[in-house]
Amino acid sequence: MYWVDEKEIKEVSEVIKTRNYFRYQGPGVETRTSKCEKQWCDYLETDFSLLLTSGTNALVVGMAAFGIGPGDEVIIPSYTFVATASAVMQVGAIPVIANIDESLTLDIREVEKVFSDRTKAIIAVHMDGLVSELDSLSDFCKEKQIYLIEDAAQACGGEYKGQKVGTIGDFGAFSFNMDKVISCGEGGLLVIKKGMHQEIKKRAFITHDTASQYGQTMKEEFKDIAPFFGISSRLNEINSAMLSEQLFKLPKILEKLRERKSMWVKAFESAGVSYYKGHDQKGDTSTCIHLKCSDPMEAALLAKKLLKENIKALPAQFKPAHACWQWMESMSKRDYFVPGLNPYRLTDKEYRYDKAQFLPTVMTLGQCLKIIIDLDISLDKEQEKISKVIQLSSQ
């Protein structure tokens, strides 16, 4: 989260003064939330966006709207936040893990290995702002007649070949948690591909707000949809007010992040320092750079040296709940928040997960030292930081 200042405070204060905090304020009334959704449609050049309480709920609502559920498998990468797997299980489907490659995103060859006749979708995660290779994944999904989902929680504003991530797959999910590119404290966004059937979009809205079919504000919009119960994951006016201001700042934030990352890339390439790249460096959100060390021991030792210099750096595998072996023990019949709804208890297929299955990911993440790019320091300080990293990495 960057650049929260008096502008956000002003917008939030105005909402509080009105005492109108709910996203609905009567038929035909444009609220902060509905206005913010239109702003996202304009920014992403799409025709449907839905604000929710989290990026996790954006995935859940999207999958539910597309009919993904019990009996289905969804392929996810071995390097992703636990919420990606959790969201799949919440709709009753089974997450199937595929190894990443040196882009730190899904490896299409590994996807092909774990594909089955039960696969309903693939979730491409643009991890750490690094953009996934979407051409081969999109072609594969079209060939197999399955859905391509983009988890862009950590890549808001990122691009793949000139198109905003989150708008290329059948649907995309974004997060506005406080440690994301922009934030409203907590929130999410579901974006459905432009031109997709209206029924899917209506089902998504109803799913995110189970009462929307019955209230006077939206009732007429859903009269052609058979009533069903969803969940309650509406975003409120306070969060929406803050997010609108953050969205206004997003292009400038990305410009400054990319300016700084280009300094790192130029210096690394000049010094012969290896680093991990996504599939579209220009479209990278540039929140961090991933130094490639010779082995996990070097990555751990270098991280300690850098922390002594007040440089934020951490081996990628050490970040809690981001490597699959940190959370895959929950992908079993053992326990669940509603045990009777555990998808592993509702299938006739046996699933086995072991860290040994993900040795390519273990090695890649073990060698990867993630360095955070900081907008709160001057360019001169950033250059000093880069020089120090190069110096210490060569020792």
pLDDT the model gives residue 24: 86
In the chain, the domains with their CATH numbers are 6-246 (3.40.640.10), 249-320+358-393 (3.90.1150.10)
Q: Which of 59, 57, 46 has its CA nearest to residue 194?
A: 46
Q: What's the pLDDT tens digit per position in 255-281?
A: 999 999 999 999 999 999 999 999 999
Q: Average pLDDT in the 9-14 region?
A: 96
Instruction: Yes or no: say if 237 and 184 are a contact pair by the CB < 8 Å rule.
Output: no
Question: What integer is the mean pLDDT of 163-188?
Answer: 96
Q: Is the pLDDT of residue 119 over 90?
A: yes
**DSSP designation for 236:** P
Helices (H), the chain: 6-18, 32-44, 55-65, 82-90, 108-114, 134-144, 198-208, 237-271, 296-308, 324-327, 359-367, 379-393
pLDDT for the residue 1: 67
Mean per-residue pLDDT, 319-343? 93
Which pLDDT value is given to residue 219?
72
Q: With b meaning 16 or more CB within 10 Å and e meaning fewer, what string describes 87-116?
A: bbbbbbbbbbbbbbbbbbbbbbebbeebbe
* 7: nearest Cα among 359, 254, 244, 329: 244
Closest by alpha carbon to 315, among 334, 295, 343, 342?
A: 295
Length of the chain: 395
Confidence of residue 319 (pLDDT cuts 50, 70, 90): confident
How far apart, in whole angstroms, are the C-alpha atoms of residue 192 and residue 275? Answer: 33
Give the predicted TM-score (pTM) of the model.
0.95
Q: Which two tokens stand for residue 230?
A: 């969803």
Q: What percent of the chain has pLDDT over 90?
A: 89
Predicted confidence at residue 320, as pLDDT, reads: 86
Question: Residue 232: beta bridge partners?
Answer: 209
pLDDT tens digits, one per residue of 19-39: 999 988 878 888 999 999 999
Q: For 159-167, what is the mean pLDDT?
A: 98
- 96-115 pLDDT tens trace: 999 999 999 999 999 999 99
Average pLDDT estimate for 148-162: 98
Helix extents (H) in 150-290 = 198-208, 237-271
Q: Would the pLDDT of 226 be above 80?
A: yes
pLDDT in tens, 37-67: 999 999 999 999 999 999 999 999 999 999 9
Note the pLDDT of residue 49: 98
The pLDDT of residue 174:
99
Average pLDDT, the chain: 95
- Residues 81 and 128: their CA atoms lie apart, in Å, by 10
